[in-house]
Structure 1
Amino acid sequence: MIMWTIQPYSVYQQLVKNAYFYCDPNKSANWKDTDFRLAYQWMIKQLEVKAARPCNQITTPLWAWYRSHDYRHQRPDFRWSRDYSDEVYIEFDIPEEKVLLSDFEAWHFVLNNWYYSSARSKEEWEQDEKRFDSLSKIEQQHIKERSWQQIFDITPRHGEWTRNGEIVQGCFWLLRLNQVRRVWRLKKGERVHEICSV
Structure 2
Amino acid sequence: MKLWTIQPVEVWELLQQQGFYRGTKEYVYEEFLYSYDWLVGEMEKRLGPRPEPESYPVWAWKQWSGSYVRPDLRFRGHLEKGTRGVRLEIDIPDEQVILSEFGKWNYVLNYWYLPENDEDWDSFNEELEKRGLNFFQQKPLPDPYYHQKIVDSWQRIFDIEPKNEDERGELSIQATFWELRLEQVRKVDFFVAR
Q: Tell me the TM-score range normalised by the shorter chain.
A: 0.7 to 0.9
Pairing of 1:72-111 with structure 2 (within 5 A): 72=67, 74-80=69-75, 81-84=77-80, 85-111=83-109
Equivalent residue in structure 2 for 1:185, among 175, 183, 190: 190
Highest RCO, 1 vs 2 (Cα 8 Å, sep ≥ 6): 2
Following superposition, the deviation at residue 159 of structure 1 comes to 8.8
Question: Structure 1, unaligned stretches of length 5 or more?
Answer: 190-198
Q: 1:142 matched to which residue of 2?
A: 148
The corresponding residue for 2:138 is none
Root mean square deviation, CA, Å: 2.6
Q: Distance in 1 between matches of 2:84 and 2:59?
A: 18
Aligned residue for 2:55, secondary structure, equals coil
Q: Take 1:155 and 1:173, find their aligned partners in 2: how far apart are those partners?
A: 24
Identity %: 31
Tell me which amino acid in the other structure corresponds to 2:101.
D
TM-score after normalising by structure 1: 0.81
Q: Are the aligned partners of 2:79 and 2:193 in contact in 1 as well (CA < 8 Å)?
A: no
TM-score by length of 2: 0.83
Task: Report what 2:18 is aligned to.
Answer: 18
Tell me the number of residue pairs that the alignment of Structure 1 and Structure 2 aligns.
181
Matches within 5 A, 1:21-170: 21-26=21-26, 28=27, 31=28, 33-53=29-49, 55-57=51-53, 59-70=55-66, 72=67, 74-80=69-75, 81-84=77-80, 85-119=83-117, 121=118, 123-134=119-130, 137-158=143-164, 166-170=171-175
Q: Deviations over 1:5-64 (max 9, x none)?
A: 0001011011111111112323x1xx2x32211110000000111112353255211101
Contact residue 51 and residue 178 of structure 2 kept, 8 A:
no
